[in-house]
Amino acid sequence: MEGRREEGIRKGPWKAEEDEVLFNHVKKCGPRDWSSIRSKGLLQRTGKSCRLRWVNKLRPNLKNGCKFSLEEERVVIDLQAQFGNKWARIATYLPGRTDNDVKNFWSSRQKRLARILQASAPSKSHKNKREGPVYDEVITLEAPKFSCSSEGESSSQAQSCSSPPCFGNSEIIKMVPLPDLVKPKLLALEANPVQQELAPTEKNPWIEPQPLIPFLQNPQPQTDLDFSLETQELLARFDPYFDMLTPLVASELGNGGEQLLMEPPFLEPVGSCGSGERDKIGNPITPDFVFDDLPVDMFDQIELLPNSSEQH
DNA sequence: AATCATTACAACCGCTGTTGT
DNA sequence: CACAACAGCGGTTGTAATGAT
């Protein structure tokens, strides 16, 4: 696209001065006209680069340097299962997080899970995979079918955004396929900060409004729970009976637990569920992505997974 | 203390969709 | 309608920080 030689284009880490220039530009002109930043000679950066810098680092109300809380983790996990790798979309449910954050988090997590699974499957290295019924079961588990037109059910849960937190609640955190938990809440709710950002006011077109609900601001201490949580969650995806464990997990989570803003970023048209989540066969979820990045070996191990009772 | 491995983060690239002319 | 420019998204890569040995 930018085929011509880009002389004087700066790349790499941003300097504080550049940030300041960019910030001032946005302050004046709003978060757009990125390419004009260079054409005006303000910065030797491409518009693309400027936009990215703004979105990922300079935008107000970002949770820079904050690790994902357990609640946020769960949201990402759940929404990823629901939407696939729609990071931007997922990020809209996590105030203060960017698509890049979510993406990075997810890929780190994928690697971690892969390692965990690999480490736990040392012996059966490279035999033929996917021969047993296990894989098929996984698919079934991983692809919960849910109706996209969930107006009906949503009413009973629509309150969740304005009032009580959805998470930190053992019932909510239960490890069942997310759509049952989240989907209804995604509809018929008011705009979130991201949405509002997209509709800036005249006075301060660039200022992002404060989140409607105070979101968890402090990084949650990452403890050993991470591992167990991750492992358990993973197992839960493979073993329907693993749900039995969830109260335990939930209770652990509940303590950290602040609020999870399960609030829809947009008033998603009901139909958009089907259209947005591109899926080969029309189902909203394609299970395979969950495994794409995991070592094939893992399925061997899954076969061996003990029942939930052994997890204690 | 040194080295290696892993994680987290920042930034870039290529592609696609949208919008303006 | 066609084209170009722009904006946005997702994938990928590079690197600094951190942890483990």
Domains of chain A are 16-58 (1.10.10.60), 70-311 (no CATH)
**In the structure, how far is the CA atom of residue A256 from the C1' atom of nucleotide C20, in angstroms?**
27
Per the structure block, which two tokens stand in for A194? 């991201």
Residue A94 has pLDDT above 50, yes or no: yes
Instruction: Please state the φ and ψ torsions of residue A33, each to the nearest 5 degrees.
Output: 55, 45
- A144: how many CB neighbours lie within 10 A of its CB? 18
**In the structure, how far is the CA atom of residue A36 from the C1' atom of nucleotide B21, in angstroms?**
18
Residues with CB under 7 A from strand B: A 1, 10-14, 45, 48-49, 52-53, 56-57, 64-67, 100-101, 103-105, 107-109, 111-112, 115, 222
Q: Could you say which nucleotides of strand C lie within 7 A of any protein CB atom?
A: 5-13
pLDDT band at A105 (very low <50, low <70, confident <90, very high): confident
In this predicted model, what pLDDT tens digit does every residue of A177-226 receive, in sequence order? Answer: 333 334 333 332 333 333 333 333 434 444 444 333 333 333 333 333 44
Q: Could you say which nucleotides of strand B lie within 7 A of any protein CB atom?
A: 6-16
pLDDT band at A249 (very low <50, low <70, confident <90, very high): very low
Strand ranges (DSSP E) for chain A? none
Residue A240 has pLDDT above 50, yes or no: no
Q: Is the CB of A197 under 7 A from strand C?
A: no
Instruction: Determine the pLDDT at residue A78.
Output: 85
- Say which amino acid occupies A23: F
Q: Is the CB of A105 under 7 A from strand C?
A: no
Instruction: Determine the pLDDT at residue A119.
Output: 67
* Cβ contact A82:A277 at 8 Å: yes
pLDDT band at A120 (very low <50, low <70, confident <90, very high): low
Residue A86: nearest nucleotide (C-alpha to C1'): C10
- A73: how many CB neighbours lie within 10 A of its CB? 21
* Percent of chain A topping pLDDT 70: 35
In this predicted model, what pLDDT tens digit does every residue of A158-170 receive, in sequence order? Answer: 333 333 233 333 3
Residue A50: nearest nucleotide (C-alpha to C1'): B11
Residue A48 has pLDDT above 70, yes or no: yes
Q: Output the average pLDDT for chain A.
A: 54
Residue A117 has pLDDT above 70, yes or no: yes
How far is the C-alpha of A118 from the C-alpha of A110, rounded, in Å? 12
Instruction: Determine the pLDDT at residue A232.
Output: 52
Write down the H helix ranges in A199-265: 225-238, 246-256
Q: Closest residue to C16 by CA to C1' distance?
A: A13
**Among A45-59, A114-128, A234-248, which stretch is predicted with the lowest mean pLDDT?**
A234-248
* Cβ contact A109:A230 at 8 Å: yes
Question: Crossing angle for the helix pair A70-83 and A246-256, nearest 10 degrees?
Answer: 120
Residue A88: nearest nucleotide (C-alpha to C1'): C9
